[in-house]
Amino acid sequence: MKRPAPEVALAFGKQRQTGRVKRPATPVPTLPFVETAPLGTNSTNNNFGIGTLGTGTMSKIGKKPITIPKGVQIKMDNGLVSVKGPKGELKRFIPGDVNLNIENEVLRVIPKNTEDRATWGLASALIKNMIKGVTEGFETIMEFQGVGYKATVKGNDLELGLGFSHPVTVKAPEGITFKAEKNVIRIQGMNNELVGKTAAEIRSWRKPEPYKGSGIRYQGEIIKRKAGKKAVASG
């Protein structure tokens, strides 16, 4: 009887030891290449000249229409957007080169070219905040905790007693109003950025410390507490 070649015998022996039969690998099917519309050209999938695979330039915030409330006027001149409403008027430069299309009390922000799609959503969000500012306004609520801490409003300014040798006076920026009651401070204004900046300045005077929790914090802010030396020693 003719013996098999050494290579065949070795492979057959490995299969008998492992109990597995080596099968040929299944070929991976190749997907056909689909040509998409280039950026900046009209496509059947959208109305903003974005290619079918241009998800990197698509903005979910930018393409959403903005409803204009009654009594609000919006104008744009060389990138400077002015929004006038019941509470007053706000003006600011919008990043990027965009057009404002207003029809039937609905505002749409449309970028002029592909380079400005990166700031498309930002421009839409800024205008939306301006509309809310002149109609409803913004408010940040802060709380303070500590022995002898107090806050009072004197004129337009806020005076804080935070355990220093002298009270701290926070000047109210233009368009910002303060309200203080018990251990709560309210910062109100039309400009969302200015309200947040003023609140951050107030918090910086006495940040909440992790042991006793005393200091100034945003309402709802969670401070990670730490155990003191006595608690660690007793534990």
pLDDT in tens, 53-75: 333 455 788 888 999 999 999 99
Distance (Å) of CA 43 to CA 20, 46, 53, 197, 232: 53, 6, 11, 42, 66
- The letter for the amino acid at 177 is T
pLDDT of the residue at 147: 86
Cα–Cα distance measured from residue 205 to residue 228, given in angstroms and rounded to the nearest whole number: 23
Look at residues 194, 55, 48, 61 and name the one whose alpha carbon lies nearest to residue 124. Answer: 61
pLDDT in tens, 179-230: 999 899 999 999 999 999 999 999 999 999 888 888 999 999 988 888 766 6
Look at residues 200, 184, 75 and name the one whose alpha carbon lies nearest to residue 131. Answer: 75
Span 103-117, average pLDDT: 83
Residue 28, helix vs strand vs coil:
coil
Residue 186, helix vs strand vs coil:
strand
CB atoms within 10 A of CB 9: 11
Judge whether residue 94 has pLDDT over 50.
yes
Q: Is 218 exposed, middle or buried (0-12, 13-18, 19+ CB in 10 A)?
A: middle
Q: Return the DSSP state at 117.
A: G
Q: Return the DSSP state at 127.
A: H
Please name the fold of domain 66-135. Outer Surface Protein A; domain 3 (3.90.930)
pLDDT in tens, 21-50: 566 666 655 555 444 444 444 443 344 333
176-181/184-189 β-pairing: antiparallel
Cα–Cα distance measured from residue 94 to residue 151, given in angstroms and rounded to the nearest whole number: 37
Q: What are the residue ranges spanned by the domains of the chain?
A: 66-135, 138-218
Same fold, 66-135 and 138-218: yes
pLDDT of the residue at 193: 95
- The letter for the amino acid at 11 is A
82 and 74 Cβ atoms separated by less than 8 Å: yes
Band (7; pLDDT cuts 50, 70, 90): low
* Secondary element (H or E) of residue 145: strand 138-145
Please name the fold of domain 138-218. Outer Surface Protein A; domain 3 (3.90.930)
Look at residues 138, 123, 146 and name the one whose alpha carbon lies nearest to residue 64. Answer: 123
Q: Which residues contact 231 (CB under 8 A, 6 or more apart)?
A: none
> Locate tokens 């959208």: which residue?
46
